Chains A and B, each alone.
Chain A
Amino acid sequence: MTTPDPLELDVRPQLQRGEEPFAAIMSATERLQPGQALRLVAPFRPAPLFAVMANRGFAVSDRRRPDGAWEVQFAPLEGAAPDAGLAPGSAPGAALWPDPSMTLDLAGLAPPEPMVRILEALAALPAGEVLFALLDREPMFLFPELTTRGHEWAGNFAPDGASYRLLVRSGGPDRGVDHG
């Protein structure tokens, strides 16, 4: 099996325009094919990103290019796929997260109310803290919003299939980026 060429993402133009590149990086990560690495080009060494990507199952290697830019390669680790039964897109390291500091019982609420409650709660949750929510169904429209806002999540159905369990690790209180 051949390994696909890395996907290259140059965030320098975005940073120059004063935009926050985190969402673009997460979006690129999710577009990767199995085994494909992400090559990030940035004007500085994006150290805060290393932990986020390690949690998603990527090994990090970086070098400074002659033109002064930093080139960081995030290569997927073998066997870092999420546990079986977790929704696609779930963070692989969720089993190692700290105990939830907040619990929301959202059973019996009509969509999109559970999404509103979860995002409002996360807007005030410090980075690294974990929220647990119990829902009636898989919140399919919430996942992209969590990713865009820099939160990590993992979810699955309870064994009886009647409720859905969602863990979200806060990426930090809301940065207030309006991308609507």
Chain B
Amino acid sequence: MIGRQLSRWTMAWFASALAFLVASLCAAVAGAGGPGHWSGGAALAVVHLFALGWLCQMMLGSLIQFTPVLCARPVAVPGLALPALLLTGGGTAMLAAGFLSLDGWAPGQGLLALAPVVLAVAFAMTGAMLAPTLVGTRGLGGAEGRMVALALVALGGLWATGAAMGWALGGYDLLPVALFEALPLHILLGAGGFLTLAAFGVSYKLFAMFLLAPEGNGALRQAVFGTASLALGLTLGLTGLALAGRGSIPLSLLAAFADAAAVALYLAEIRRLWRSRHRPKTEVNMRWSCAALGFLGLSAALLPPAILWGGRWAEAAAFAALAGWLSTLTLAQMVKIVSFLTWIQVFAPRIGRCPVPLVSDLVDARATGRWLGLWVAGAAGGTLALAAAQASGFQLAALAMLAAALGLVREAWAIRRLRHLDPARRPGRLPPLVLPAPPQGPDHDHTRSARA
């Protein structure tokens, strides 16, 4: 329906992603993975529960919700949102089980080969929903839509490298892939490619909205897009070489520098946006997004040494990007987005009919700030522990992140249930916590095609 912009399954995408976040942190606290130990089955399972289950699901759910807002057009085939969600969640669980089979867990055998197929269908479904909206006149014409389209190209590369390695580990040598060469590119295409570029695109719109700053497609945004396209092009070229069993360190360094330059330009653009804002006092989501931007700068600075020397440099760079930059941004904005969508769902129909609260009344900003602070401390501690090869320090950091994640899950629950609102101002009937509201009589009853 034209004009109906609330994606029905957004809360379900978020809930599924948060479940994977909590699961991955529990496993990290229990000691699966740690400094210098990322190649075992359990460690790879944890990494994928976090990167794919938490971050990619959160990003895909957000893109299905926000691409129509970025491009002012509804997504194509909105009915694919639920199957794509189920297949992404199922594919992630299968992948994690497949990795555990490398440690000898029998039930996971064969799943390492099957999971990429399931994920391919899930990603293709999401692409089918988003691509027609993005290539429309107002999609690729805007800085936001172009960036999201670039991110989806990176998602294709992320899947291809992941699938090639998964099949190689599972015993199917379909390509002469050199795992050692493909792994850094896989991480780069995921953390630096898909997730970071999509975050760039969505943040252009959301930051401008939350800061009351003018939007636009100025020279800086075009420079970010040009540099990011160059970096992605180089990374995809390297991927082609790696899948053919070859690698090139000088070209990798060039890609790393292009990535770092794109990040520097993006940070300059956000600084411009921040300074042109009309809202003097920023909200908790934007204040903690600044910490995320700090981690983005740190991970970009760590990229060249990570490519050159690998080891603890690479671990710290990847962790700063995944836990520091992407997760802090996602958690901070999630609180805002959940409160905004809940407000729209509950109170938009009541405007003009009875007094409605402010969106900010739905959130406990102080508690949210405390949990986000704890998350950032954990992410910083984890980055340091990886750089210093301190296994117990890393577990402690994971524990802090787990506590912060649970605190923010509780806050999201409280927002959905309007717990911070005076009971007298709460409507009697609330929408379901996670699942979409059942179809309303006036909207959906009694329509059928007269084809019969």
Instruction: Assess the B440–A147 pair: CB atoms within 8 A.
Output: no
Instruction: Assess the A161–B216 pair: CB atoms within 8 A.
Output: yes
A31 to chain B, nearest CB (A): 6
Q: Which residues of A contact B68 (CB under 8 A)?
A: 140
Q: Which of A10, A27, A120, A144 contacts B442 (CB 8 A)?
A: A27
User: A21-B442, A115-B348, A120-B352 given as contacts; is B2 within 8 A of A88 (CB)?
Assistant: yes
Q: Does B423 contact A (CB under 8 A)?
A: no
Instruction: Assess the A112–B349 pair: CB atoms within 8 A.
Output: no
What would 12 A/B residue contacts be, using CB atoms closer than 8 Å?
A: A9-B447, A22-B442, A30-B4, A87-B72, A88-B72, A123-B352, A137-B209, A141-B348, A144-B6, A146-B3, A180-B347, A180-B349
B373 to chain A, nearest CB (A): 24
* Residues from 177 to 221 in B contacting A, C-beta threshold 8 Å: 208-210, 212, 214-216
Sample of 16 further A-B pairs with CB below 8 A, known A143-B2, A144-B1: A6-B450, A7-B447, A8-B448, A23-B443, A30-B1, A30-B2, A112-B343, A120-B351, A140-B68, A143-B3, A161-B215, A174-B352, A176-B353, A179-B442, A180-B345, A180-B346
B346 to chain A, nearest CB (A): 6
A contact set with B: CB distance below 8 Å:
5-11, 13-14, 17, 19-24, 27-28, 30-31, 39, 87-89, 108, 110-112, 115-116, 119-120, 122-123, 136-138, 140-141, 143-148, 161-162, 174, 176, 178-180
Q: Which residues of B contact A5 (CB under 8 A)?
A: 449-451
Q: How far is the CA of A89 from the CA of B2 in the complex (A)?
A: 6
Instruction: Assess the B353–A14 pair: CB atoms within 8 A.
Output: no
Instruction: Assess the B429–A27 pair: CB atoms within 8 A.
Output: no
User: A19-B442, A24-B445, A89-B3 given as contacts; is B350 within 8 A of A178 (CB)?
Assistant: yes
Q: Determine the main DSSP class of B at the interface with A.
A: loop
Q: Which of B6, B69, B351, B427 contacts A119 (CB 8 A)?
A: B351
Instruction: Assess the B445–A145 pair: CB atoms within 8 A.
Output: no
B contact set with A: CB distance below 8 Å:
1-6, 68-69, 72-74, 208-210, 212, 214-216, 278-279, 340, 343-353, 356, 359, 427, 429, 440-451
Q: Which residues of A contact B4 (CB under 8 A)?
A: 30, 144
Q: How far is the CA of A131 from the CA of B429 in the complex (A)?
A: 32
Q: How far is the CA of A37 from the CA of B215 in the complex (A)?
A: 39
Instruction: Assess the B442–A14 pair: CB atoms within 8 A.
Output: yes
Q: How far is the CA of A19 from the CA of B427 in the complex (A)?
A: 21
User: A7-B447, A115-B351, A116-B351 given as contacts; is B3 within 8 A of A30 (CB)?
Assistant: yes
Q: Which residues of A contact B450 (CB under 8 A)?
A: 5-8, 39
Q: Which residues of A contact B279 (CB under 8 A)?
A: 110
Q: Which residues of B contact A19 (CB under 8 A)?
A: 441-442
Q: How far is the CA of A19 from the CA of B443 in the complex (A)?
A: 11
B8 to chain A, nearest CB (A): 12
Q: How far is the CA of A140 from the CA of B245 in the complex (A)?
A: 48
Q: How far is the CA of A144 from the CA of B6 in the complex (A)?
A: 9
Q: How far is the CA of A136 from the CA of B279 in the complex (A)?
A: 13
